[in-house]
Amino acid sequence: MGYTPFFSIKVRHEYFENNICQNIIFEPLIETQQLSVNADFVFRDSIEGFYILADENSVEKLKLFMADEPLLLTFFVYCQDEGFSRYTTPNVLKDEQILYFELDPESHLDYSLTKKKCVSNNDFKSLNDMADIGLSSDDIPFKKPLCLVNIAISKNDPRFFSHNDKEPFLAPTLMIHFKTRTTFWEYALTGHDFTGEPLIQDMNDQCAFALQASDVDKDNNTAMLRFRSSIPLALEHRGKRRFQLIDKQANGSKVIVKRLPIALAGQGYYDSIDNTLAEISEIFINYSFKRN
């Protein structure tokens, strides 16, 4: 008996480097676990999701389970990162709903488990509509999963099976792709007063920052400044952006902070921008510099 890859599921997230979604765990339902024993395949976790190995000498046996209807494999998916919703869009925490991903057994060219290119509001399913997939709301564990994945495989699905007896499995990769949340970044800066014009500069020239508020204490020679980005910026696990705090003077500019820190997920507030409620990420900075 030799096992070979049958298929895999990769979970991508734009928040992370290389788009590898971290801290994701797939848990097969009891029925799926029992089916794996009868059909001779095993589950394995991977850094990007999980994969299934099948006995390459039991292809016909496996297809017997698909003789009358597709093979159905169902998984609860958990995320060990409690802050997942803070950097993910759309909001994954919805009462009486759960993210539901399935493989369309009729669309043999589609390897995505989402309705659109990335996870969207179209991928949510009401907990009251579980009956059409053989479940009920009572089947959802007390610790609510991040999502539910349903894979239906027919015996003639060209995404999974080849006509080559030596390599019967095509081992497709099925995808779930999350987008990162975007917010307006607002730097709240406290330190010495400037001799020139304070500004924040994007070293990649992709975003401008406008001074929102300035509170100067001339007696103590200090200032409290707030700069806000002109456009929403994607939250990042490790920042690739490079913003500098600069004191622009008539005889040249002086760099006060060479690289400002990036916004943290879940740290901020909501404000109205152009008559629309927008999420603001606050970044607090205490800076100092020597006078010339």
- Work out the end-to-end distance of the chain between its first and last CA atoms, rounded to an integer number of angstroms: 77
Q: Which two tokens stand for residue 69?
A: 């209807």
Residue 145 maps to a domain: yes
Distance of CA 35 to the CA centre of its chain: 30
Digits of tens for pLDDT over the chain (292 positions)?
588 899 999 999 999 988 999 889 999 999 999 998 888 889 999 999 999 999 877 788 888 888 888 889 999 999 999 999 999 999 998 988 999 999 876 776 679 999 999 999 999 999 888 887 788 777 777 788 999 999 999 888 889 988 777 778 889 999 999 999 999 999 998 887 677 788 999 999 999 999 998 887 777 777 788 999 999 999 999 888 899 999 888 788 888 889 999 999 999 999 999 999 999 999 999 876 544 4
- Give the integer Cα–Cα distance in Å for 250 and 13: 45
Going 31 to 37 to 38 to 39, the CA torsion angle's sign is: positive
Q: Are residues 256 and 273 in the same domain?
A: yes
One domain for residues 171 and 195? no
Question: Residue 141: beta bridge partners?
Answer: none
> Would residue 292 count as lying in a domain?
no
Residue 267: which domain range? Answer: 182-286
Residues 110 and 157 both lie in one domain: yes
Place of tokens 């406290």: 190
Domain count, the chain: 2
Which of 150, 180, 210 is the endpoint of a domain?
A: 180
Residues 133 and 33 in one domain: yes
User: In 181-232, which ranges are E strands?
Assistant: 182-192, 197-202, 209-217, 222-229
Q: Are residues 171 and 244 in the same domain?
A: no
Rg over alpha carbons for the chain, rounded to the nearest Å, is: 26
Domain final position from 148, 180, 212:
180
Please indicate, yes or no, if residue 291 is contained in any of the structural domains. Answer: no
CB 235 within 8 A of CB 181: yes
Together in a domain, 58 and 174: yes
- What is the model's pLDDT at position 92? 94
